[in-house]
Amino acid sequence: MQTSRPRTPDAAPVPYLLERSSEDRASEAWLPSVTADPETRYLPILSGRSAHSGAVEADGARLRWFTRDEVAAFAPRDAAEIYLGRLNDDAASPAAGRHLVAVVVDVVAEERFASYRRLRELAPLLDAAEAEILISATAIVNWHAGHTHCPRCGAPTVVVHSGWVRRCSADGTEHFPRTDPAIIVSIIDREDRLLLGANARWGGQRYSTLAGFVEPGESLEAAVVREVAEEAGIVVHSPEYVASQPWPFPASLMLAFRAQTDDVDVVPDGEEIIDLRWFTRDQLAEDVRSGRIAAPTPASVARSLIELWYGGPLPEPRQPESQRA
């Protein structure tokens, strides 16, 4: 996915694609005015309460957009609607120049569900504009699913501000979507080797950069040092910010760093990280090409960090002889 990958210092500036109209959407009259516009387009998305949360319909590498009449044919009348923004006229999308609204549905007819796909599957395919839209829609749908009641008093909350705020029905407090900061870091030693780890959740084959959540009261740089010490048993220094990437699983913002170390004797924590390896560029290329290890997906900031160190795109795994034409 070319333009939807996270920005690095060596990449071209990301175009301004989505006008979110944050001030306008606070007006209670805003969303009704948008939905009254026949040019508005709608994105049905499965609720965060669904086992397939965030799934949408797609046609190949494009999101499928609906008119209001088309959505009304299968979405419940009381389906929540969330204003996503107005897409730039220059965006490469059939929805360019229009207001966009997410329609949250709990279930869809079984015959429709076959065409519904989730962000992890679509991310490598979508262009920058539609990737940003789907990331935003997925994140806000996940947030709504977990905030149906006030965290202060337990009373039900109601949706206001065009879907971007929930207000307590008892005490009137307003609750906003939250984003959890997490660091992710490429670690380079004195010999210019890269440290990658295998996470227990991935079964031990996929190797990636180390990552972890930022704790309350902690700076990003301190989080880099702490997480690496916890997961690899080494001390890093000179953390340098590289890029960021929203990661709505369920509500994270990945903040990517590069860091240096003088230590080479790494020890995986044995719980989250089950193996750690230092790679030269030739070693990493051969292991990925041969299929001995898997790299992070192309749409991830982890892949961007690795390729920034590598100096270009990683090689593709060789196709087994039995699958070659």
pLDDT of residue 109: 60
Kindly report the length of the chain.
325
Mean pLDDT by 10 residues, the chain (325 residues): 41 62 95 96 88 86 94 89 91 88 81 79 87 92 93 96 97 95 98 96 90 97 98 97 91 96 96 96 97 92 97 88 50
pLDDT of residue 12: 39
pLDDT of residue 321: 55
Please state the pTM of the whole predicted model. 0.86
Q: Which of 89, 92, 98, 91 is nearest to 66 (CA)?
A: 98
CB 198 within 8 A of CB 302: no
Contacts of 286 (CB under 8 A, 6+ apart): none
pLDDT of residue 111: 61
Rounded distance between C-alpha atoms, residue 20 and residue 31, angstroms: 12
